[in-house]
Structure 1
Amino acid sequence: MPAPLSVIIPTLNAARDLPLCLESLMPGLDSGLIREVIVTDGFSEDGTESLAEAAGAVLLKAAKGRGRQLIAGAEAARGEWLLFLHADTALSREWAERVSDHISHRPDNAAVFRLKYRSDEKGARWLESRANRRARWLGLPYGDQGLLISRQKYDQIGGFPDVRLMEDVMIVQAVGKKNLTFLDAEARTSAAKYERDGWRKRAWKNSWMLARFLLGVSPDKLAKEYT
């Protein structure tokens, strides 16, 4: 039987973070879980493509935009399960074991990882706690937490929407809170934007963007304001 999992990583000028992301996938390769790693690149100019090819990933080109890059990766994937992962996120070593258990025992549910920031600042611990509580209470994890979903479920809910922002929110809304499992493994994501802007300032800005989206503001309008 072929390995069940296709990992899909959208990239745009991600040369700084992509190597750590790809390295973190090794437990899945070693255990025979991963069938393929697909990097869907939005025409990077910093060597991202070369890094992906050197690591043995399948490299696709797609018009810039995370939603459409995720869609392109999913269309090309051959696995019965899909794992969507941001290029600036690295998984903790036990991730492959947790994913295998999920596939075996909860095949009807999608799943995400526990959020952790790659920072030693106190603000990182504050935001992790807040974000993980929000994810469980509302069923609205960050895209940084990855998304594990069967091909069958992905097709059933219509996949990712082709939008410029909030594609991660829209797909977990389609999945539904009761159909979402939280795995006991970490998605360790970059803290660069928070360290640049300030932890609380950036957190409240993101929360305000989400609130406006939930109140009906279009993703395209929000994308014009997002930095």
Structure 2
Amino acid sequence: MKTKTISVIIPVLNEASRIGSILERLVNTDNVEVIVVDGGSQDQTVSVARSRNVQVISTPPGRACQMNAGAARATGDILLFLHADTCLPANFDSLVRQALQAPQTIAGAFELRIDSQQFGLRLIERLVNWRSRFFSMPYGDQAIFLKATVFHTIGGFPNLPIMEDFEFIRRLQPLGRITIVPASVLTSGRRWERLGIIKTTLINQLIILGYFFGVSPEKLAQWYRKQGKWQ
């Protein structure tokens, strides 16, 4: 049986200091296509990515727009969406293919580990991983993956300035099982370290509550930017 190709799509914006190390973990993996989607970086992100011999395309800024553009360019059977400050686990490709072979599984993501020594973040990790499994609700920093056919069937990520991953998963849930792979991505702790664990967690929860109560994504995104937590 032919090994299914995985297209790893990485939306970036001013990530020159991180994108190189992320790509180093991917470029020598068999049957993996890497597409970096730049949203108008003002630093050396594009040149660093090109130096790793991966595909680089440019779009207007906005994670949903960037990820959809990457998916439109992708040729893989499986799409995996990776944040530029997140490292995939070893053998991620085998784990992804195995997860999607399970009956009724249409999508998946990884457990979350945060790259920080702060003790309070161990609790955040546990809560995130519990939420992901119990509610089948992983977020974008957990490297969501799915079959390309399923992605195109649901129309890709909704064109929202924020909460695009949340809404994307909600649209997937009625279609089948969302598997949480028992291996962790390692995501940067910069968000929590910059603003503090309590404030960062409170901001995240207020954004979700606002979305549920009908606050427009545009207003939520505007408020989110003011908190110093934008991409």
Distance 2:159 2:70 in 1: 13
Distance 1:76 1:2 in 2: 20
Of 205, 218, 221, the residue aligned with 2:219 is: 221
Distance 1:54 1:2 in 2: 27
Q: Which residue of 2 aligns with 1:195?
A: 193
Q: Which residue of 2 aligns with 1:39?
A: 36
Q: Which residue of 2 aligns with 1:100?
A: 97
TM-score, structure 1 as length reference: 0.92
Q: Which residue of 1 aligns with 2:7?
A: 6
C-alpha deviation, 1:184, in angstroms? 1.6
Q: Which residue of 2 aligns with 1:21?
A: 22
Q: Over residues 64-88 of structure 1, what are the superposed CA-to-partner deviations in whole Å (9 max), with x where a residue is unaligned?
A: 1111001110111111110011000
The aligned amino acid for 1:218 is S
Q: Which residue of 2 aligns with 1:183?
A: 181
Q: Aligned residue pairs: how many?
A: 223
Distance 1:190 1:204 in 2: 18
| 1:91 maps onto 2:88 in alignment | yes
Please give the residue correspondences for 1:45-194 in structure 2 after superposition, counting only pairs within 5 Å: 45-106=42-103, 108-176=105-173, 178-194=176-192
The aligned amino acid for 2:163 is M
The aligned amino acid for 1:6 is S
Distance 2:11 2:82 in 1: 8
Displaced runs of 4 or more, over 3 A: 103-108
Distance 2:72 2:156 in 1: 10
Which runs of 5 or more residues in structure 2 are unaligned?
Answer: none
C-alpha deviation, 1:115, in angstroms? 0.6
Q: Which residue of 2 aligns with 1:205?
A: 203
The aligned amino acid for 1:148 is F
Q: Over residues 171-214 of structure 1, what are the superposed CA-to-partner deviations in whole Å (9 max), with x where a residue is unaligned?
A: 10011075200012211111101001111221121011111112
Distance 1:187 1:174 in 2: 23
Aligned 8 A contact 1:94 1:185 in 2: no
Distance 1:107 1:17 in 2: 36
Distance 1:161 1:209 in 2: 17
Alpha-carbon RMSD: 1.7
Distance 2:153 2:72 in 1: 14
The aligned amino acid for 1:25 is L
Q: Secondary structure, in 3 states, of the residue corresponding to 2:17?
A: coil
Aligned 8 A contact 1:33 1:100 in 2: no
